[in-house]
Structure 1
Amino acid sequence: MVKYEFDKPIDRSGTSCIKYDARERIFGQNDVLPLWVADMDFEVAPEIAEAIQERAKHKIYGYTMRCDEYYDIIQDWLKRRYGWSVEKPHISFSPGVVSALAMALLAFTKPGDKVIVQSPVYFPFFTTIEQNGRRVLNNQLVEGTNQYSMDFDNLERQIDNQTKMMFLSNPHNPVGRAWTKEELTRLAEIAEKHKLIVVSDEIHSDIIFSGHAHTPYASVSEYAAQNSVTAMAPSKTFNLAGLSTSVVVIENERMMKDYNYMVETFHIGLTNPFGLVALKTAYEKGDAWLEALLKYLEANRDYVAGFVQKEIPGVDVVLPESTFLMWIDFRGLGYSDKELQHQLVRMAKIGLSHGPIFREGGEGFQRLNFGCPRSQLEEAMERLKKVIHA
């Protein structure tokens, strides 16, 4: 049996890596332990690395097309992982999930339209809407004792005749909810009642922990299938974010035509040859690596949660059902967000994602990326404990 190595520390400095080489720009200093941007500090599966290396031997890296095999492999992955049957004409492409959100926004709304988001949420949702002349309608999540939930009643009250679309984070970044089929069905009923298109960011769909499952939004009803855009990728799952290869599923023929027109308009439809190889190899040969990864990530999650609960009074965590991201609640310490950032960056020398960038509901929180070797997490927790106790 192949043993995959997740404990191995890897120095990514000097590789033009945003997570490490942008520390000076983001945090004002280079010596922070970076646990912020959402890629992992693990080597990719050896099968993927070998396939990319083999492709590189050809030494010509020209314009690349997506052949029938590409679609077959994606169909098989969606069926095996989620029981979701998708036809080939319903599969399209985007360099990234955020690009797919932008293309859908431009294809299916007009300037001035309102687009629903559920804060605290992945901050490009807001900028994609605002920078393209649309308006954000925030249906803030409800914070419970141990988890968050959707506020369906508030959602219905807010929708008006200018509300045309919703950006859904499924699973949710940063609070880590793997929305249940029942929750998504209720959401689809509201969308049908008000004739909304839902654009579902499902980039974290493969990172699901014990006792939970991923349900594609488009699979919960016929209306959801015919009035949605699903954006997925192997990038979070297999640590391939730099290869710019995402998958878009649209089951409505007219909507697919309009989406592809936008992709063609902005000339972003060409495939990266190495991204193509990586996607195909990941979805064909990556199951064993992924299962090992999930066990490691779940253990990392439980380690951070246990350490915080035992060693750092005044700090709490929201235990994620999905993603390799931990939403940490520092409000019990009584710091302002500016003071908290100072303590974490200047004193503890830890670089996390600052809660307020996720908008309403992010105040007093920080997002931690636990997709890294355990030794790195242990160092971060000890630094945090020392500063908080001091």
Structure 2
Amino acid sequence: MDFFEHNIDRFGTSSVKWERTKEVFKTNDDVLPLWVADMDFRPPKAVTDALQQRMEHGIFGYTFVGDSVNEAITAWMSSRHDWYIKHDWISYSPGVVPSIGKAITALTEPGDKVLVQSPVYPPFFSMVKANNREVENCPLVKNEEQYEIDFDAFEQSLKNGVSMFLLCHPHNPTGRVWTKDELTKMADLCLENDVIIVSDEIHSDLLFKPHKHIPMASLSPEIADQTITLMAPSKTFNLAGLQSSVIISSNESFRKKIAAVDQQQGSFTLNTFGIIAMEAAYRHGKEWLDDLLRYLEGNIQIVKDFLNEQLPELKLIEPQATYLLWIDCRKLGLSDAKLNHLFVEEGKVGFNPGTSFGKGGEGFVRMNVACPRSTLLEGLERMKKAIKP
């Protein structure tokens, strides 16, 4: 666990999280960044060793994704998620967000409606709009402790001419892990209404016990045939900058249409180092990931205890997955602009504002706790200083 305690200086590495904070938060002050969804931890040693070995070879020509990578991915899916996939179901993309764009372009038409569930990861909105499609929003419903799906509203939204449903699973920013019953209800309604499911499962490895990730496409062959699954090692192993992700679908027609978009865009392979890191992570990253999850659970408990004891005005939505915490600040009675000003200008700490996640995000902030404990404790103290100077 000591591995995750090291404070590593990320300045001078073109880190968005650390070197773009002043620009993003429009301040001249030094703000502690607890926002962008990457970690301040090194990946498994097996990954850096594999990258070092490849670098020492010294020739970086055109590289294809070999069968050994497919084998590593299929083995990971079966052992981690009890999902048994075939090699030819897999294709590759630089990232989940580009994959969303490719799926929208390949499988819907301009003007089509695409269903999302706010509050949700901002590119769910932006990619729909950037591809000249229309957002159909069916907001999640917050009960006393967690977020739920209003299935009556969900069904009505599907009947409004929706062509595609973007599912965030596990959900970012609320931390929900959708149950088998919830997934089945959503999928059955999509099947009834002939709606394609694009399931963003990038956080699927970052679950806390007793919760278990169930891939949407694993529910049945019929559901799999209607689903495109997007996964990546980027969140799990902190490899986002290496630009490698996976598109999985048993539907050959879907795969061919997405491949045609790749051809139109001149895209045919991944970055060499992204390929190397992906295979090494999925082959050798299990022990590191298990240690990471224990460390993250400790960080989350620290936040929970701190808010309960020091800042009872704020309420943590108990995360079932991810290192991103969704914090309810509405009892402070501040507008979102004033809430952002309070944390940035008074506390010198940067969170993602809830409003960036769409309807239902008002009065919330998203906090990234994938950092050494000393950084987290500093962030909490800055939070407290802002609210109780």
TM-score between the two structures when normalised by the length of structure 1: 0.98
Tell me the residue number matched to 2:259.
Answer: 260
**8 Å CA contact 1:168, 1:199 repeated in 2:** yes
Q: Which amino acid aligns with 1:11?
A: D
Residue 249 of structure 1 pairs with residue 248 of structure 2 = yes
- Partner residue in 1 for 2:327: 328
1:10 to 3, 8, 11: 8
Q: Which residue of 1 aligns with 2:205?
A: 206
Aligned residue in 1 for 2:31: 32
Shift of 1:4: 5.6
1:311 equivalent in structure 2: 310
Segments ≥4 residues shifted beyond 2 Å? 158-162
- Cα contact 2:168–2:199 (8 A) shared by 1: yes
| Counterpart in the other structure of 1:21 | 19
Tell me the residue number matched to 1:46: 45
- The match for 2:88 is 89
Measure, in 2, the Cα distance between the counterparts of 1:372 and 1:101: 28
Change (3 A) 1:320 1:30: same
Report 1:258-297 matches (<5 A).
258-297=257-296
| Corresponding residue of 1:175 | 174
Alpha-carbon offset, residue 63 of structure 1: 1.0
Gaps in structure 1 of 5+ consecutive residues: none
The answer to which of 98-107 and 218-227 deviates more is 218-227
1:1-390 matches, within 5 Å, as 5-28=3-26, 29-160=28-159, 162-390=161-389
Contact 2:327 2:364 in 1 (8 A): yes
Equivalent position amino acid for 2:20 in 1: A
Secondary structure at 2:3 match in 1: coil
The count of aligned residue pairs is: 388
Instruction: Name the aligned partner's letter for residue 55 of structure 2.
Output: A
- State the shift of 1:326 in Å: 0.1
Alpha-carbon distance in 2 for matches of 1:183, 1:194: 17
SS of 1:57 mapped into structure 2: helix
Alpha-carbon distance, 1:161 to partner: 5.6
State how far apart, in whole Å, the 1-side matches of 2:365 and 2:266 are.
Answer: 36
**Deviation at residue 30 of structure 1 after TM alignment:** 4.9
| Same amino acid, percent of matched pairs | 45
Residue 269 of structure 1: how far off its partner (Å): 2.8
CA distance in 2, matches of 1:262, 1:376: 43
TM-score, normalised on structure 2?
0.98
Matched-pair contact (CA < 8 Å) for 2:115–2:157: no
Deviation at 1:24, TM superposition (A): 1.9
Partners of 2:49 and 2:92 in 1: CA distance? 24
Secondary structure of 2:230 counterpart: strand
Q: Aligned-residue CA RMSD in angstroms?
A: 1.0
**How many angstroms apart in 2 are the aligned matches of 1:143 and 1:363?**
13
Letter in 1 for 2:15: C
**For residues 268 and 366 of structure 1, what CA distance do their matches in structure 2 show?**
36
Amino acid at match of 2:248: V
Aligned-residue offset at 1:222: 2.3
